[in-house]
Amino acid sequence: MRQYIFGTGLLSAITGGVTLLRGLKNDEPFTWRTALAWLSWGITLALAVGAVVDTRRARRGRVIAGDSPVQKKQGKLLKKRLTR
């Protein structure tokens, strides 16, 4: 489970969220740039979580979507699990 939680994509998404939360502490008005930053953070978080889910599915031998970046490594991940 550590390998999923401490993945670089997930850590960077969490760090980005913390940075956005710190920006809310200032008394600056909420602008369209702030809205785009939050939207971008949400997309980044969703992609990071999706990659974790796809990696877990690939290691368990389940079929993952063809548009997933993990799809190319699916055979290697499954073979790694079977050798344990």
For residues 11-29, average pLDDT: 85
- Which pLDDT score is estimated for 84? 62
Q: Structure pTM? A: 0.70
Residues 6+ apart with CB under 8 A from 81: 59, 60, 61
- Per residue in 18-45, is it b (16+ CB within 10 Å) or e — as a string? eeeeeeeeeeeeeeeeeeeeeeebeebb
Side chain identity at 7, as an amino acid letter?
A: G
Amino acid in position 6: F
Please write the tens of the pLDDT for every residue from 22-58.
888 877 788 899 899 999 999 999 988 888 887 777 7
pLDDT tens, position by position, 51-77: 888 777 777 777 776 767 666 666 666
The answer to whether 52 and 32 are in contact (CB under 8 A) is: no
pLDDT of residue 42: 94
Q: What is the pLDDT of residue 21?
A: 87
